[in-house]
Structure 1
Amino acid sequence: MSMAKTMTEFDAKAADSGSKATERFKESGKRSGIAVPKERVSLLAREVLEAVYGTIRRHKVTYEEYNSLKDWLISVGDDGEWPLFLDVWVEHVVEEVATEDRQGSKGTIEGPYYVPNSPEQKTPARLPRRDDEPGIELTWRGQIRGLDGNGIAGGKVEVWHADGAGFYSQYAPGVPEWNLRGTVVADGDGNFEIQTMRPAPYQIPTDGACGKLIAAAGWHAWRPAHIHVKVSGPGMQQLTAQLYFPGDPHNEDDIASAVKPELILDPRPAADGKGEEMVYDFVLDPEA
């Protein structure tokens, strides 16, 4: 009599995480659309197509290459990897344009693995984790401030990140639902403390359509270790960012091109000898 195998995060498949990312996007409300003038749609569509035409003409693209592209585009949809493809290779430029007028803290891409409504705790907070969670203990202290330097009462930090093996809860089997995800409410002066674990670098899924592109182009699939955040406060623009660790070899060649110097952390050995601790603050811009 055979016994069913217990699935673990190491059994994660690109098609599974891709379909979940696609499902999340459909549920997010982001696809409700806006009333874009026809002239704007025409302008953007034509310029994108002209760029494609220029590439074909400049590099004498063959029918074999064209059909390979067509087959690959179909497989991206079949694998549910459009959110992954767009968030890895396109979003960083959209974010750059969308936040170019901000004076406060720098942000970067959201990525495909955000899940809203994570469990909320008041500071000091401890993100949900397994009893045997692998990795290094990390205590993070900071403050949410406005451009005037005053702390923001009611400020919140949503946090999510990969575990010590590079996997995200809700996108890999065998990982508890809210593992290393949470929303932390700062105190009346905007101060917060978050206890978590240091995440690991990881490769984006390579057994699906995006992996085929990476292999065919001879690229690497690595993202440096990072902590995702969404920081908010009453009357303030929400900041979406990723925070990175010094010395990671992929800070310089992140496949998602999302690393900025302002987002590099400075963890130090903890005073009590247990893991690491760091300080990183946020400055939010007021709502327009």
Structure 2
Amino acid sequence: MTTETEATAAASGAGATARFRENKQFAANTSQERVSTLANRVIKAINDTVLDEKVTYDEYNAFKAWLIRVGEDGEWPLFLDVWVEHSIVEVAEANRHGSKGAIEGPYYIPNAPVLNNPATLPMREDEPGTPLLFQGQVRNVAGEPLAGALIELWHADDAGFYSQFAPGLPEWNLRGSIIADEQGNFQINTMQPAPYQIPTDGACGALIAAAGWHAWRPAHLHFKVSAAEHQLITTQLYFEGGEHVSDDIASAVKPELVLAPTERADRQGREVTYDFILDPQD
């Protein structure tokens, strides 16, 4: 039986690609004029780079071979989520007044088990890491609690692996859906995740090595928070003082998203309070 430490970029990439095709609607209602505008901008940016940087045929062919490998490894979701999605987030939330959003990343799985509130995420009996109590309230921008708001939480384990994208992990390990109470309050028990490297044995890793970059993401919790008649927010929360908070490979960290957990009174781990503020639907 394979274990999570034997996960490969190709397997994770293939899984992420398959999940994207299953879970996303990617036939946008976009006019030909808009498609033409966007495609021309991207193509022009590439050609401008070729001309400005005097790209050689050897470099062009290496780039072409790398693009082919990205597809073969199934790493387009990883590449786009790491290096492009943070700009999509900036556009999407330009007019929002509530909580800050962040990238979804390639490892979201919908329909995680619904858990009673207060909740404990599904985990192994001997799940490694430091226990973390994450609690707070979901409100609207007027400060009113949003009863029955849905909090979807998922994150990597203490070794940096996500369930359903690494072998040997239980299906819903460290994934769950929690329904806030009548005052919008929630309490979730989990384990604090660790920083992790994005997969480096595939095409994205080849780019990172060739460019001399690092491949690390800071430890983070993923959330989707939604309520009736309000805009869903997708975000990530990080940990004060954590490694790579200041140099995240995905450029997704914002000051408003950094948590400062404290030791619990019973000394059985850490706790932190964070409130989600949702904007009304347009």
TM-score by length of 1: 0.97
> Equivalent residue for 1:135?
129
Offset of residue 148 of structure 1: 1.1
One-letter amino acid of the structure 2 residue matched with residue 234 of structure 1 = A
Offset of residue 179 of structure 1: 0.3
Q: Aligned pair 1:215/2:209, yes or no?
A: yes
Cα distance in structure 1, aligned partners of 2:90 and 2:117: 31
Q: Aligned pair 1:125/2:119, yes or no?
A: yes
Offset of residue 87 of structure 1: 0.3
Match among 25, 42, 47 for residue 30 of structure 1? 25
8 Å Cα contact 1:144-1:283 kept in structure 2: yes
Offset of residue 154 of structure 1: 1.3
Cα distance in structure 2, aligned partners of 1:123 and 1:97: 33
Offset of residue 140 of structure 1: 1.1
Cα distance in structure 2, aligned partners of 1:273 and 1:94: 40
Cα distance in structure 1, aligned partners of 2:235 and 2:68: 31
Match among 18, 29, 39 for residue 13 of structure 2? 18
> Equivalent residue for 1:104?
98
Offset of residue 248 of structure 1: 1.4
Deviating 4+ runs (over 2 angstroms): none
Cα distance in structure 2, aligned partners of 1:27 and 1:141: 31
Aligned length: 282
Cα distance in structure 2, aligned partners of 1:94 and 1:52: 19
Offset of residue 187 of structure 1: 0.3
Cα distance in structure 2, aligned partners of 1:195 and 1:34: 38
Offset of residue 30 of structure 1: 2.1
Match among 196, 220, 229 for residue 235 of structure 1? 229
Q: Show structure 2 runs of 5+ residues with no match.
A: none
> Equivalent residue for 1:49?
43
8 Å Cα contact 1:122-1:186 kept in structure 2: no
Cα distance in structure 2, aligned partners of 1:143 and 1:135: 25
Offset of residue 72 of structure 1: 0.3
8 Å Cα contact 1:129-1:179 kept in structure 2: yes
Q: How many percent of aligned residue pairs carry the same amino acid? A: 61
Offset of residue 35 of structure 1: 2.6
Q: Aligned pair 1:259/2:253, yes or no?
A: yes
Cα distance in structure 2, aligned partners of 1:135 and 1:25: 29
Cα distance in structure 1, aligned partners of 2:78 and 2:166: 15
> Equivalent residue for 1:3?
none
Match among 161, 174, 184 for residue 178 of structure 2? 184
> Equivalent residue for 2:57?
63
For the residue of structure 1 that corresponds to 2:35, the secondary structure is helix
For the residue of structure 1 that corresponds to 2:259, the secondary structure is coil
Cα distance in structure 2, aligned partners of 1:160 and 1:113: 9
Alpha-carbon RMSD? 0.7
User: 1:98-125 CA distances to partner (integer Å, 9 max, x unpaired)?
Assistant: 1110000001000000000000013100
TM-score by length of 2: 0.99
Q: Show structure 1 runs of 5+ residues with no match.
A: 1-5
